A and B are shown apart, each in its own frame.
Chain A
Amino acid sequence: MKQAIYGLILFTFLALPPVANLLESIMIMHMHMQMPLLVFAGFLIARFFQLKFPQFFERWNANGVPGMLLFLIIWLYWMVPRAMDEALTSPFMELFKFFSLTFLAGIALRDSWKKLGNIEFSIMYIFFTLKFIIMGYLYLAIEDQICNNYLIIEQKTLGWGSLAMAVCFVIFGFYWHFTDQSEYQKVDL
């Protein structure tokens, strides 16, 4: 329960207008900091819902696949340049961003990722690694301004940021592949 309170505090902090404005004024902070932090806030808040409505998650998200799909859809949605632009210009979209990333993506992720089997987990891992590589490449290769609210130089920065994330994912992949995870998993269960 403590976790949920921390999550709520984080969420409130991110929603403070000066904090939100600051993070949104720089493209890479908008996508690689504000959005993941919102998901993380939801991840913490999820504990409250898991304790309160255990049957709901048990029935609707037994194997973690629906939740993971929901997380993926919400996350991909906010990668659409238009969605990012609209979050800045329309208050309704801004509200939807805070709600969807925290309460849909964050909670779904928390409830799903441990339930996923090895194959599903690998698919997710490959998907996200590829996503970061492709996005990084796209943002570096495109010469046009794709967000009306951000300069091209910020787009390039975001491209390098995505590639850096991809590198982290690849490193994690090696680590995960070459170490024996069974001991950790026993402890977790």
Chain B
Amino acid sequence: MNKKDNTKLAILLVIIFGIGLFYISTDGFRAYTAESARMYDLQQEKPTLPNVTLKDSHARTYSFDELAKDKYVFITFMYTNCGTVCPQLELNMRDVYKQIPSHYFENDLVFLSISFDPLRDNPEVLAKYRTYFDSDGETWRMARVNDSEELTNLLETLGVIVIPDDYGNFQHNSAFYLISPKGQLVEVMDFTKVDTAASILLDHLDKKVRD
């Protein structure tokens, strides 16, 4: 082999290496951020939710499984003191809520906003917060998880990362989560795409009603 050929071969090898490197590390050019990788992984794994005990804005205590019995649960994670992404997240959740015909809320679906700040978000605070988003406290409930171990376990299962910052606030990743009547995570959706989320949700509900 002469020198020139080797250089061309080297270029080819380097390019193949590069494509391979990017392909493998982005799940086949799908996930360029750890967040999208997390969503992709969750969709593949479909983990079952650990049971947690909730305390809602009416100060009622019940387990997640009781609430979710034979229902789809549409979940977001937030805390009421949040000034950045949570209000947007909850507003978008409201927009999804409004696109769902009310008869689905009788037996098939419940909306749930879970606070990960149990210290500040007591039932009174949650009761006030829910009114900002027209949540009725029944078909769309706002609740906290009392037990910190249960909360950590839940956040970990769904890959929610919460970083406290220096000002008593939290920075966290956000998404819409859909849990099947069997308690399995079936969808992790981009919370900025309200219409897409609503239509995915309706697809699942239609299927459930048909069966």
Measured CB to CB, the residues of A under 8 A from B are 58-63, 65-66, 69-70, 73, 77, 80-83, 85-86, 89, 145-149, 151-152
Indicate which residue in A61, A82, A147 contacts B10 across the interface (CB closer than 8 Å). A61
Interchain CB contact under 8 A, A61 and B25: no
> Closest Cβ of chain A: how far from B199's Cβ, in Å?
22
Q: Is residue B198 within 8 Å, beta carbon to beta carbon, of the partner chain?
A: no
Q: A73-B17, A145-B171 are in contact. Are A83 and B25 (CB under 8 A)?
A: yes
CB contact list, B10-27 vs A, under 8 A? 10-11, 13-15, 17-18, 21-22, 25-26
Interchain CB contact under 8 A, A145 and B14: no
Hey, what's the 0/1 contact readout for B1-41 against A, CB within 8 Å counting as 1? 00110110111011101100110011000011111111000
Indicate which residue in A62, A80, A85, A151 contacts B4 across the interface (CB closer than 8 Å). A62
Roughly how many angstroms separate A137 CA and B31 CA in the complex, as a whole number? 21
Interchain CB contact under 8 A, B7 and A63: yes
Indicate which residue in A69, A81, A151 contacts B32 across the interface (CB closer than 8 Å). A81
Q: Is residue B173 within 8 Å, beta carbon to beta carbon, of the partner chain?
A: yes
Interchain CB contact under 8 A, A148 and B161: yes
Interchain CB contact under 8 A, A145 and B173: yes
Q: Is the interface of B mostly helix, strand, loop or mixed?
A: helix
Interchain CB contact under 8 A, B26 and A82: yes
Hey, what's the 0/1 contact readout for B169-191 against A, CB within 8 Å counting as 1? 00101000000000000000000
Q: A69-B15, A73-B21, A145-B171 are in contact. Are A62 and B3 (CB under 8 A)?
A: yes
Indicate which residue in A58, A66, A89, A147 contacts B11 across the interface (CB closer than 8 Å). A66
Interchain CB contact under 8 A, B11 and A69: yes
Interchain CB contact under 8 A, A82 and B14: no
In the complex, besides A69-B11, A73-B17, A85-B33, 12 extra interface pairs with C-beta distance below 8 angstroms are A60-B10, A61-B7, A62-B7, A66-B13, A69-B18, A77-B18, A80-B22, A82-B32, A82-B37, A89-B34, A145-B171, A149-B34
> Closest Cβ of chain A: how far from B77's Cβ, in Å?
14
Q: A77-B22, A146-B35, A151-B163 are in contact. Are A65 and B3 (CB under 8 A)?
A: no
Roughly how many angstroms separate A30 CA and B165 CA in the complex, as a whole number? 19
B residues within 8 A CB of A148?
Answer: 33-35, 38, 161, 173
Q: List 18 A-B contacts (CB under 8 A).
A: A60-B10, A62-B4, A62-B7, A66-B14, A69-B15, A69-B18, A77-B18, A77-B22, A77-B25, A80-B32, A82-B26, A82-B32, A85-B34, A146-B35, A149-B34, A151-B163, A151-B165, A151-B171
> Closest Cβ of chain A: how far from B95's Cβ, in Å?
18
Roughly how many angstroms separate A152 CA and B83 CA in the complex, as a whole number? 14
B residues within 8 A CB of A70?
Answer: 14, 17-18
B residues within 8 A CB of A83?
Answer: 25
- Nearest residue in B to A152 (C-beta to C-beta)? B171
> Closest Cβ of chain B: how far from A111's Cβ, in Å?
11
Interface core residue of B22, B33, B37, B38 (most chain A CB under 10 Å):
B33
Roughly how many angstroms separate A58 CA and B7 CA in the complex, as a whole number? 9
Indicate which residue in A58, A77, A152 contacts B21 across the interface (CB closer than 8 Å). A77
A residues within 8 A CB of B6?
Answer: 59-60, 62
Roughly how many angstroms separate A73 CA and B20 CA in the complex, as a whole number? 11
> Closest Cβ of chain B: how far from A155's Cβ, in Å?
11
Interchain CB contact under 8 A, B15 and A81: no
> Closest Cβ of chain B: how far from A67's Cβ, in Å?
8
